[in-house]
Amino acid sequence: MTKKVLFKNLGQIDFKDAWDFQESLFKKAIDLKMYNRKHESDSAGQLPENHFLFCEHPHVYTLGKSGSADNLLIDDEGLKQKKATYYKINRGGDITYHGPGQIVGYPILDLDQFFTDIHRYLRTLEEVIIKTMADYGLKGDRYPGYTGVWLDPESDKARKICALGVRTSRWVTMHGFAFNVNTDLNYFNNIVPCGIDDKDVTSMERELGEKLPVQEVQHKIKKHFSNLFEVEFVE
């Protein structure tokens, strides 16, 4: 049976505001699952809502739980000059950058309604981006041992185009992916992206030699997400 997912495009939004919004949806889903379990009403009770959020953040660096603060290469004054903010957050992974021209996707899903396998979840998110890139004639790929989507991962020209970092609790997910479409890649020079110091970062614009209409790319991501997760979006 096709599952319903509530879709919302938050537009350009401060990272902390989006994080707080995610947390509220995440907590609501977990609280409902706990209530159902306590009252033994998993089968008869109301299931948590599933959400998929799109947004774009002003310049911001975020550091995951397993990351090192040393991978931020500028100080407070440097952040101010770059008009960027910095947050230590509760997802997995190391440091990354978000900014204009990047599509950020936040699925808040109850994986009990899909599949209880985090590895499969991450690989499916990667596949969404790989299929989106293929629509533009680009071969996205996986890099063994790393998350995210890459081009030419096994060569000395390996470059990352999409970062992934998630948090899960009781099989509910939050955070998600950051896909470089028309991103200013200079901002990645101020960090060791994802803690990987010997690989490049790229964007759709850089690979194709032209800016892409972000709404068009978002539409393609939604189509592939819908097909791979077998969901129907409710606006």
Give catalytic status of residue 194 as yes or no: yes
The Cα 9–Cα 114 span in angstroms is: 23
3-state secondary structure of 76: helix
> How far is residue 114's CA from residue 39's CA, in Å, rounded to a whole number?
22
- Mean pLDDT over the full length of the chain: 94
User: Which one of the listed residues 95, 104, 194, 221 is annotated catalytic?
Assistant: 194
Residues 28-46: what's their mean pLDDT? Answer: 81
Largest CA distance in the chain: 57
Q: In sequence order, what DSSP letters do the residues of 151-186 get, joined into one string?
A: ESTTSTT-EEEEEEEEEEETTEEEEEEEEESS--GG
Torsion of Cα atoms, 85 then 149 then 91 then 62, to 10°: -10
Q: What is the pTM of this model?
A: 0.95
159-211 tens-digit pLDDT: 999 999 999 999 999 999 999 999 999 999 999 877 777 789 999 999 999 99
3-state secondary structure of 37: helix
